C-alpha cells in the first residue's frame, strides 16, 4: 500500500504535477512527454519513475514502446482527484501543455492518414499479407440488426461496407483518408449498391448528429486511433439510446513490425482495457468474444456494447 507521504512527496515537484495533469487526459510515451513538456528525456524519465514508484502511474508495454497513464486503482489519489483537478487546471503552463498535447495527438492522426492515403490501392492485399487474422467477419455480420441504420467507422476501401449494405436499411461509411474513400466509391459504384453514403471524417469527430444511428461498426480501426477512449465517447454520442456498438479489433500481440508496415498505433488491446474505456464512455451491457488465431495469426476480439 502506498503511503500518503509517498504520494504527497511524488506530487511535490511542479514538473510532476504537469505530467500528472497531462496523463489524466490520455496515454503518452516518454518521447511524446518530452516534446509536450519541452525538457530533456532523462529528466522526464526521472519524474515518471518517481510517480510510478508512488503508485500514481500505470505503464503499458507495447513492444519496444511504453505508454504511461494515471493509475485508476490508487484509492488515496482517487479520493484526492476531485479536489485537486480544478487546481491542476490553473498551473501556469497549462495552456501551452494543452496545445502540445493536441499537437502530439494530431501527429499520431496525421501519420495514420498519410499512410492510408499512400497505400489505399494496395491496402486489402497488404493488410491480409502482413497481419493474418482468423476469419471473423461472419461473426460480426451476424450480430448486426437487420434493417438498421448503420455507421461504419474506418470504412477503408469498402470491403466490409458492401457486406453490411445487404443487412442494413441505410449505411454511412466514414474514413479520414480521401484515397481510401475513393477506392470505396469505386467498389460501391461497381456493385450498384444504393443504400451506402460515404463521408470524410475523423473517428473522434464523426460527421453525424447526436443519437442518429441504430448501430455502429468499428472494424479493425481502434488500433489506429490516436486516442481510443475519445473514439468511444464520440460513438456513444451518435448512437441512439438503445443502439448497438460492434467492435472487432486485435487482441494484444507483439508483432512490432505492424507499427511501420501497417501504421498501427497500438499492438492490440487487453479485454479489461477496452472494458474500462467502454464503461467510462457510457456503455454498460458488454459481451466479449475472443477468436483465437491459428499458427501465425493474431487473435481477434469481438465486442458488443449498449
Q: Which domains does the chain have, with CATH numbers?
A: 4-92 (1.10.10.10), 122-305 (3.40.50.150)
pLDDT of residue 267: 92
**How far, in Å, CA of 242 to CA of 279, rounded?**
15
Residue appearing with cell numbers 487526459: 25
Strands 286-291, 300-305: pairing kind: antiparallel
User: What average pLDDT does the chain have?
Assistant: 91
Residue appearing with cell numbers 466509391: 185
Q: What are the grid coordinates assigned to 152, written together?
A: 461504419
pLDDT of residue 299: 92
Q: What are the grid coordinates assigned to 229, written together?
A: 477512449
**How far, in Å, CA of 76 to CA of 98, rounded?**
26
pTM for the model: 0.86
Under the banding of pLDDT at 50, 70 and 90, the label for residue 2 is low
- DSSP symbol at 296: T
**How far, in Å, CA of 32 to CA of 42, rounded?**
13
Q: What are the grid coordinates assigned to 255, written together?
A: 508483432
A 10 A CB-CB count for 35 gives: 18
Query: Reduced to 3 states, what is the DSSP secondary structure of residue 270?
Result: coil
Beta bridge partners, 216, equal 151, 245
Contact 161/171 with Cβ under 8 angstroms? yes
67-126 confidence digits (pLDDT tens): 999 988 888 888 888 888 888 888 999 999 999 999 999 999 998 899 889 888 888 888
> Of 283 and 131, which is predicted with more confidence?
283
Give the residue-averaged pLDDT of 130-138.
85
List the one residue out of 234, 227, 170 whose CA is nearest residue 206.
Answer: 234
293: exposed, middle or buried (C-beta count within 10 Å: 0-12, 13-18, 19+)?
Answer: middle
Beta carbons within 8 Å of 19's beta carbon, 6+ residues apart: 33, 37, 44, 47, 48, 51
pLDDT of residue 25: 85
250-270 confidence digits (pLDDT tens): 999 888 888 878 889 999 999
**How far, in Å, CA of 293 to CA of 201, rounded?**
32
Give the residue-averaged pLDDT of 198-221.
96
Strands 57-62, 65-70: pairing kind: antiparallel
Residue 130 has pLDDT above 80, yes or no: no
Contact 137/125 with Cβ under 8 angstroms? no
**How far, in Å, CA of 255 to CA of 298, rounded?**
9
**How far, in Å, CA of 175 to CA of 177, rounded?**
6
223-253 confidence digits (pLDDT tens): 999 999 999 999 999 999 999 999 999 999 8
Under the banding of pLDDT at 50, 70 and 90, the label for residue 1 is low
pLDDT of residue 14: 93
Residue appearing with cell numbers 442518429: 212
Amino acid at each position: 500500500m502506498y503511503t500518503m507521504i509517498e504520494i504527497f512527496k511524488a506530487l511535490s515537484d511542479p514538473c510532476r504535477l504537469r505530467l500528472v495533469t497531462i496523463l489524466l487526459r490520455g496515454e503518452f510515451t516518454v518521447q511524446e512527454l518530452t516534446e509536450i513538456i519541452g525538457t530533456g528525456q532523462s529528466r522526464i524519465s526521472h519524474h515518471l519513475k518517481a510517480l510510478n514508484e508512488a503508485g500514481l502511474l500505470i505503464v503499458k508495454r507495447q513492444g519496444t514502446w511504453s505508454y504511461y497513464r494515471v493509475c485508476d486503482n490508487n484509492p488515496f489519489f482517487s479520493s484526492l482527484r476531485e479536489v485537486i483537478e480544478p487546481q491542476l487546471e490553473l498551473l501556469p503552463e497549462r495552456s501551452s501543455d494543452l496545445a502540445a498535447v493536441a499537437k502530439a495527438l494530431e501527429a499520431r492522426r496525421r501519420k495514420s492518414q498519410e499512410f492510408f492515403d499512400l497505400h489505399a490501392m494496395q491496402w486489402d492485399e497488404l493488410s491480409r499479407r502482413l497481419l493474418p487474422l482468423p476469419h471473423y467477419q461472419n461473426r460480426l455480420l451476424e450480430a448486426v440488426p437487420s434493417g438498421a441504420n448503420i455507421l461504419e467507422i474506418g470504412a477503408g476501401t469498402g470491403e466490409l461496407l458492401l457486406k453490411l449494405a445487404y443487412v442494413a436499411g441505410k449505411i454511412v461509411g466514414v474514413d479520414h483518408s480521401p484515397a481510401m474513400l475513393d477506392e470505396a466509391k469505386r467498389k460501391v459504384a461497381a456493385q450498384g449498391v444504393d443504400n451506402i453514403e460515404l463521408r470524410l471524417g475523423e473517428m473522434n469527430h464523426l460527421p453525424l448528429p447526436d443519437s442518429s444511428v441504430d448501430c455502429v461498426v468499428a472494424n479493425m480501426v481502434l488500433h489506429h486511433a490516436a486516442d481510443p477512449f475519445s473514439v468511444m465517447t464520440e460513438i456513444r454520442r451518435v448512437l441512439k439510446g438503445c443502439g448497438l456498438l460492434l467492435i472487432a479489433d486485435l487482441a494484444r500481440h507483439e508483432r512490432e513490425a505492424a507499427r511501420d508496415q501497417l501504421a498501427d498505433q497500438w499492438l492490440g488491446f487487453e479485454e479489461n482495457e477496452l472494458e474500462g474505456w467502454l464503461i467510462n464512455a457510457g456503455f454498460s451491457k458488454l459481451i466479449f468474444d475472443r477468436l483465437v488465431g491459428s499458427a501465425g495469426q493474431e487473435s481477434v476480439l469481438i465486442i458488443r456494447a449498449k
